[in-house]
Structure 1
Amino acid sequence: MNARKLLDWRKLLIYTHRWMGIAFGLLFLSWFVSGIAFMYWGMPNISTKERLDHLKPIDLSTARIAPADAARAHDVRAASLRIEMKDDRPVYVFGRNAVYADTGERVDVSGADRDQAVEIIRKRAPEHALTIRYDTYLEDSDQWTLQSAQRNQMPVHRISVGDPRDTYYYVAERTGEIVMKTDRVSRFKGFWSGVLHWVYFTPLRKHTYGWNQFIIWGSFAGGLMCLTGIAVGVWRLSLKARFRRKGQHSHSPYSGLMRWHHYSGLLFGLMTFTWIISGAFSVNPFGMFSSGRGGLSREQRELLTGGRLKLESVTVDGLRAGLAKICEHFMPKQIDVQQFRGQLYLTANRPPGKDDPEERTGPIEYRMVWLARPGQGTFTSFDHAAMEEIADQLMPGVAVQDKVWLTKYDNYYRSRDNSRPLPVLRIRYLDETRTWAYLDPNRRHHDARTRQPDEPMVVRSSSRIRLAFLV
């Protein structure tokens, strides 16, 4: 390629598209294929069934200490309260602190050394006790512990089960908690979906800034590759079939596979461009969508909850009465005390059964009890009129464009595995950022590792621009 050709903008377009295609073609092919895999598979994780299997159904018969007294005795500021069993004893869990409900003693979270980690897994999988062995000590993430939920738990012990599925458990040294489980099948699915699609290769993903820059500039380069291809395709297309190839008239000067590439690029080039550029938008390049999917302000949270958690109103007798009502439907292994508009409620999901699949999809049976009047029984949804009243108060002084009860997902409130609750109330506000909010009348308890149960999803105008490329 001489200087004259280089200065010819048309030749420059051709050579730019050609060499960028050679450089990035394999990367974007793998991104496309892994995206299809991602529709059905995902990264390894600890399923709800796996997390709850080792817990016993809650038994409050030995509980003697009220939650407020337990928190006060250990100088714990309780913003949340969960109740579960540990060593056959009921436990109040206040965030990172836990107190036995029978004696008021603080639960000792002494962590786990090498031998203790192995013993934890032997208790979890006693049928493989003879083959379980210590594998390695990880001070930093490996391929399957790169996400923040696991990275925040480092260092961890990796334990091999030695079973036919080639299972490994990861036990946090500080807490003794099992933070990850993988097996041969989940690693295979994870590699061909999440690892390839997110470019989650360990040496790169460990360095968040470098990984972000790679995704951003790689996507922009791919977008440029598409745009130059579209420009060349339009330039080289003849509306009159003036080209002759193998005795036939053609609208394209190319033949064979190159002709199919020409036509398919014209048909799908713009769609491919938006798909590739969505990679950059997924990591919010340069903070350009900083308003994004937002949380709530402190005032908005207090509107929903009614202020700080009123632990003084939670009594042992009230907890027992509420638990008894839930047990009429299922035996919970975890219950949460939630506050909604100043009133306290006991909430629980039905734990997975022995015959349930490892990866549950769809909504889970869910029950709530009003602690002030547990005799009224359980319910699953708050009054819709109350939710609409909250919608009017959520943004004081801002007009509401409309309020719609969604019975199916829209472009911004959606779920790959149908796990997000429906119906939800969607409110569109007429503020500067055109805020949309989604309120769940079920107050369904989501996995605490992902999203808090009382946090509505909020989408603002700049975020909708970004999400339009992501969905």
Structure 2
Amino acid sequence: MLGAIAGIWIGLLRVRLSKRHKSGSVSPYRGWMKWHHIIGLIGGLFLLTWVFSGWLSMSPWGGFRDGGGADIAERYAGDPSGFVPTDLPQLARVAQDAREVNFIYLGSTPVMIARGGPQDKILLDGATAQPAPIAQTRIEAIARAAVPNGRLVAAQRLDRYDRYWYGTGDPRSDARPLPVLRLVFDDPVQTWLHVDPATGALLEQMGSGSRTYRWLFAALHSFDLPWLLTWRPLRDGLMWLLSAAGLAISVTGIVIGWKRLRPAKRHR
């Protein structure tokens, strides 16, 4: 990061926009040095933000950890005292079209989620395999027990994506379904719980640190900006273009460095 900052600063000092150099160029360099100078001025800032956001992904000095994350998930599930025997014939009938069945706990209650597609999911009783719809009041009660050091101050049902619950348009990694229930707490880290209202499953938890990380990593590193997410081709094209600029900066820098380090030819 220090090298990128120094390079950008030197590049700005060397550029001339009004009074050009003798060659008529804004850059005093030629060859590889000129390519490195010009491309560095165009893409250097983005290269710096990528390095910075990638550094943050390594959680330096603890990163943006919210604290208590695993504990919240464990309390939300409750006491797993051993899954009850399941009526398998009934499960086969009810979930005959499902692609998978998840065995989980919700507030110490064993349940199953039969999934047949992104919007095709059924919550089943863990023992009888009968459909067991869950009310929002029950979800809120489980959430309150999971976050004992804060009050539930808001419960929002999201039918559209927003700045913190969003889809990238990539079907391979896009696991944020709609609608979703956002439960907001006033505990020390300002916890948000995102819960599937159809099954009660805890999908995500975010504290103030995670929300800051969303902007300093996802926005800077992956360009997950609200206006770019609505125009996926523009986002992808911009990523390709700036990635190519970053590659060019790196390649030209390596070539220039190699030439500087290579022993000079001796003249007889």
Taking structure 2 as the reference length, the TM-score comes to 0.63
| CA distance in structure 2 between the partners assigned to 1:177 and 1:60 by the alignment | 17
1:57 pairs with 62, 71, 80, which one? Answer: 80
Q: Post-superposition shift, 1:105? A: 1.9
Q: Secondary structure at the match of 1:132?
A: strand
1:83 is matched with which residue: 94, 103, 106?
103
Cα distance, 1:22 vs structure 2: 1.7
- Report % sequence identity: 18
Q: Is the 8 A contact 1:45 1:181 kept in 2?
A: no
**Which structure would you say has the larger RCO, counting Cα contacts within 8 Å and 6 or more residues apart?**
2
Equivalent residue, structure 1, for 2:235? 211
Could you tell me which of 34, 38, 41 is aligned with 2:57? 38
Aligned length: 232
Aligned to 2:15: none
Alignment of 1:369-388 (within 5 A): none
Between the aligned partners of 1:162 and 1:36, the Cα distance in structure 2 is 30
Deviation, 1:161, is 0.7
> Gapped runs of 5+ residues in structure 1?
242-471
Aligned pairs for 1:2-401 within 5 A: 11=30, 13-40=32-59, 41=63, 49-55=71-77, 56-59=79-82, 63=85, 66-67=87-88, 69-74=89-94, 76-77=96-97, 80-86=100-106, 90-95=110-115, 96-108=121-133, 112=136, 121-129=143-151, 132-134=153-155, 137=158, 139-143=160-164, 145-146=166-167, 152-231=176-255
What secondary structure does 2:30 align onto? Answer: helix
Distance 2:236 2:246 in 1: 15
- Residue by residue over 1:317-341, the C-alpha shift from the partner in whole angstroms, topping out at 9 and shown as x without a partner, is xxxxxxxxxxxxxxxxxxxxxxxxx
Structure 2: tracts of 5 or more residues without a match: 1-19, 116-120
Q: 1:173 to 1:50 in 2, by over 3 A?
A: same
Q: Check the 8 A contact 1:157/1:170 in 2, yes or no.
A: yes
Match of 1:311 in 2: none
Checking the alignment, whether the CA contact within 8 Å between 1:161 and 1:167 is kept in structure 2 is yes
Residue 109 to residue 30, structure 1, CA distance change in 2 (3 Å)? same
- Work out the CA distance in 2 between the residues paired with 1:202 and 1:84: 33
State how far apart, in whole Å, the 2-side matches of 1:228 and 1:146 are: 36
Give 1:421-436 correspondences, 5 Å limit.
none
Matched residues in 2 for 1:158 and 1:89: separation? 22
Amino acid at match of 2:46: L
SS in 2 for 1:203: helix
Amino acid at match of 2:238: F
Instruction: Write out per-residue CA displacement over residues 128-180 of structure 1, whole angstroms, 9 at most, x where no aligned residue.
Output: 33x52246746114245456666531233433212222222223344443322
TM-score by length of 1: 0.40
The two structures, once aligned, show a CA RMSD in angstroms of 4.2
CA contact (8 A) 2:184 2:192 kept: yes
Distance 2:113 2:179 in 1: 23
Q: CA deviation at 1:218?
A: 0.9
CA spacing shift, 1:158–1:46, aligned 2, 3 Å:
farther
Provide closer, same or farther for how the CA distance between residues 47 and 97 of structure 1 changes in structure 2, counting only shifts above 3 A: farther
Cα distance in 2 for residues equivalent to 1:215 and 1:45: 33
